[in-house]
Structure 1
Amino acid sequence: MVGTADEAIRQIREEGYAREYSAGPRRVFQIGAAFSSEAGTVSGWQSVWHRCRYPAKGG
C-alpha cells in the first residue's frame, strides 16, 4: 500500500483541490482512498463533506 485514506484527505486539503467548488450552492465531498497493490482493490477510504458558503436557492 502506497498511502492511507487519511493521507489522501490531507493532500486534498493541502493542495486545495476542492477550493474552486466551495463557493457553489452544493455540498462538497472529499473522498480519500487507499489502494492495495497486492490485492488490487481499495484497502481503505474516508469521506469528509462540508456545506458551501452559499446555500442553494429555495433550500
Structure 2
Amino acid sequence: MGDWQQGLTTIKLPRNSEFDFIYKWHINDVAHTATLKNISCTADSLAENNLMEEKE
C-alpha cells in the first residue's frame, strides 16, 4: 500500500516560503506524476497570514 499522509506532510522550509510539490504514485503498476505549483508555507501566526492576504 503506502502512506496515508492526510495533508500532514512536514517540509523543512522557512515560514512564508513558496515551492512546487512534485508527487508520484502507482496504480496497477502504472507510474503517475503530478505537481502542485506555488505552494505557500504558513506564516508564524494567523494575523500574519491575514496581513499577507491583504497585500495581494
- Give TM-score, length-normalised by structure 2: 0.36
In terms of fraction of residues, the more strand-rich structure is: 2
TM-score by length of 1: 0.35
Q: Which has the higher helix share?
A: 1
Q: Which has the higher contact order (CA 8 A, sep 6+)?
A: 1
Larger radius of gyration: 2
